Each structure stands twice: as C-alpha cells, then as structure tokens.
Structure 1
Amino acid sequence: MSATKKILVVVTNVGEYEKAGMRTGLWLGELTHFWDYAERAGFSMDIASPSGGTIPIDPESLAHDVLAELGTERRYRDRRFMNLLDDTVRVADVDVEDYDAIYLTGGHGVMFDFPRSDDLESLVARFHESGRVVSAVCHGPCGLLNVTLSNGEPLVRDRDVTGFSWPEEEAADREDAVPYSLQDELKKLGAHYSVADRPFETHVVEDDRLITGQNPGSARGVAEAVVRRLQPA
C-alpha cells in the first residue's frame, strides 16, 4: 500500500429519527475537530455518504456553546468548507486505493443509514483487509456493526472498541428515540467494549489499525491516533 496522504470521511444522509419528530444528522464538531487536526498534519480529505448529495446537520451541534469548541464556529462560518456538505460522493463510488484511512463520523442519523448500507460495509471491509486504517467516533461505530471480513468473522469480534454509551444516550434524553443501544450491539458481536470513567469524557481506543472514540469530545483524539498510525515517529 502506497501512502496517499488522503483520508475518506463518511457522514450520514439521515436528518430525522424514525420514532420521534426530533431532527438529527451529522454532529458538525465530529467532522471539524478531526478535519482540523488531520489537515494540519498534512492530510487532505474527501467527504462521502451512503446516498451521496446534501448532508443534514444535527441542530443541537450548532448551539453556540457547542460551536465554540475547538474552532467549530470558524468552520461553520467558512462558506467553502460548508459547501463540501452540499454534494458528497456516494460511498459506492469510492476507490479505496485513493486513501490511507477511513473515518466514520457520528450524529444520531448514522444509527439508521450506516448499518443498512451494504456499500459502506463492503467499503470498510476493503479498507481493513488492504491494510488501511479504519476509524470512527461516537455513533460512527454503527457503521462497523454489519462489517464482515472475508473469513466470515465480524470486524469487531475480539477487538477493543468504544462508541457512544447507553448512559450518554440517557443523559442526552434519546433513549426512547434511538433504534438500539450501540454499546449493547458491539458487545453482542463479541467486541471488547470500554468507556470513560464518566459520560462525555474523552475516550479513544486503539486496536492496531482499528481506532474508535466514545463521544463528540473524542473526535480530535481519534484524529491524533489516526495521524500517529499513518505517520509513525
């Protein structure tokens, strides 16, 4: 595998919950925190989604105090950057050979379309089996749930992972709106799931080329881990 200095970022196309009227979508900071760090490290990125096209943004991720975190508001005000979310490529049209790593962002929308996308599951498997880095944050690991490797085993079986926890769903008042518990689904697949000592604390887990972060505040930590993996000292 030759280094490309490029990372594929995958985001959701889903803008609302199926059981509740609340709106959701991409949690913007999970894109910007990762993007800012990886870009400063010399990587370029493309954005893809299961269906392609325009990306909805979770309205709660645009609250003033949330936008203030790690410079997200600067990106939100950047017309050129935000326009990248107007016309994303379909994951089915992605060539793995163009990238060193894949990064699955969160936002509750991914709970619906990521595990239902055969194209995304196939793409993630190809990234992993070709020696590339697979990373995800918060609800992003929903995109790992149905990934099966060529040996017939789930990607996450016997792997150390994390992702948005059930106590965090309860704290966010989403326990009645979400279709399942990501924490429980990872455990059912045989993953070694771990969490931070307290909800919403930063927590990043590295298992060789599989890197996961627990919550929105872990996005930059995932970026740091991905860059270390791709640019070892």
Structure 2
Amino acid sequence: MAQRILHVVTNVDHYDDPSHPTGLWLSELTHAWHVFEEAGYEQDIVSPKGGFSPLEPRSLKFPNVDKTAKAWKADPARMALLENTRSPDKINPANYDAIYYTGGHAVMYDFPDSEGLQRISREIFENGGVVSSVCHGYCGLLNVKLSDGSLLVEGRKLTGFAWTEEVVARVDKLVPYNVEEEMKKRGAVYEKGLVPFTPKAVVDGRLVTGQNPQSAKATAKKVVAVLEG
C-alpha cells in the first residue's frame, strides 16, 4: 500500500488585530505536497475545525510566491482541497504514516490547543509514524503529550521559525507569543540556522522539523527518507 501523509492547515485568517490578515503560507504546503506526490504517497488535508483554510496574503506576493504556489492558486481542484479540509474527528490516525504541520502565523492561534490534532499526532507517532512540521507549524507540537503523559518534544532536537526571523519580518509586535521560547520551556532542544531565512531541517528519530518557508522542501525530503528507512 502507498504511504499516506496528513497535512495540517489553519482555519484562522487574522492576528489579534483583525486589520492584519494572516493564514496558511501556501508554499509550505505546495513544496511538501510536490515532494510527497513524486514519492508516490497519498495525501489528505486536515484543519483544527475542518472546512475553509485561508491563505496568508504575503505568501502570494513577490518575492514570496513561487511556481508551485502560483500553480496551486490557479488550479480550482487544488484550491477546493483548502475549501473543504477534514476535521480531526473524521481522521483515523491508523491510516497515516506521517503528519506534516504547515505554517503561517495563523497557526499560532489554532494549532497548540487542538485536542483533535494532538490525538492524531500522538497516535501516528506511537504507531511508528513520523511527526513533522515546518516554520510556525511547530506550534502544533507544543502541547502534544504521549500516552505516558510526557511531552512529545521534551528532550528532542527540533527547529521552527526563530524569534530573530519574527523580528526581521517585522511581526514581533503582532505575534501572540514567542514560540521558540515556548518550545525551550517545554524541554525541546531548539536549533536554528546561522543565517535567517535559509533552509534548515532537523531530524530526531521520527520527529522531523524545518525552520522557515525556505525549509519546506528539505523537510519533506527528510520525512520521505525516514519513511523509506
């Protein structure tokens, strides 16, 4: 049977200040989707509430937009996948070999406390599957507990959008918390690249994480490498 990947996207469309829109950083989905598609994997999309996943406007503007994001945006069938995402209660974790949390600042609001996503992640991990994230997607890993009550991230090496990158992107005053700091508080061994906004992916067993939008492809390739063993 083909390997199956579950992508996680957000339902949130703005920061605390509604005049500042946000959403899914599209290339973080499309780069990984392309890698998994080439590997012959089947793919589905889930969100904390199910239904519509809005796009981060800045991910669609030059210089952020790329070929894969443009192609997805122009394809009604692909866009329909983001209009009708599944809800966690419709997902059987036993059907998936990996979960991949996408980013965009929106996920800071709805990923961390989704009990449905936590359940899926725990079961996939404990079934021998891969838990992965890119950029702000690691917000979805903050509160995932294993069956023994321990945090999934505790004592494990990982990466994700760095606080220095928040500052460079000029959103440090908009974000609801410092996720890099929150990860460290939970005992994660946080790593980041020397230069902001350059690709970095970290593998710790079956936990695979990427630092920023530029890391999505590398992260997905490492997920494939772990799955292929």
What range describes the TM-score normalised by the shorter chain of this pair?
over 0.9
Distance 2:118 2:7 in 1: 14
User: CA RMSD of the aligned region, Å?
Assistant: 1.1
2:30 maps to what in 1? Answer: 32
CA offset digits 1:57-92 (Å, max 9, x no partner): 000001033222x53212221121111111110012
1:184 maps to what in 2? Answer: 181
Q: For structure 1, which runs of at least 5 residues remain unmatched after alignment?
A: none
2:142 maps to what in 1? Answer: 145
Contact kept, 8 Å, 1:7 with 1:43, in 2: the verdict is: yes
2:4 maps to what in 1? Answer: 6
The two structures have a TM-score, normalised by structure 2, of: 0.97
What is the letter of the counterpart of residue 23 of structure 1?
P
1:61 maps to what in 2? Answer: 59
Matched position secondary structure for 1:226:
helix
Equivalences, count: 229
Matched position secondary structure for 2:125:
helix
Alignment of 1:1-233 (within 5 A): 4-19=2-17, 21-68=19-66, 71-232=68-229
Matched position secondary structure for 1:24:
coil
Contact kept, 8 Å, 1:92 with 1:120, in 2: the verdict is: no
Matched position secondary structure for 2:64:
helix
Q: For structure 2, which runs of at least 5 residues remain unmatched after alignment?
A: none
Contact kept, 8 Å, 1:50 with 1:92, in 2: the verdict is: no
CA offset digits 1:145-172 (Å, max 9, x no partner): 0111111111000000000000000111
What is the letter of the counterpart of residue 31 of structure 2?
H
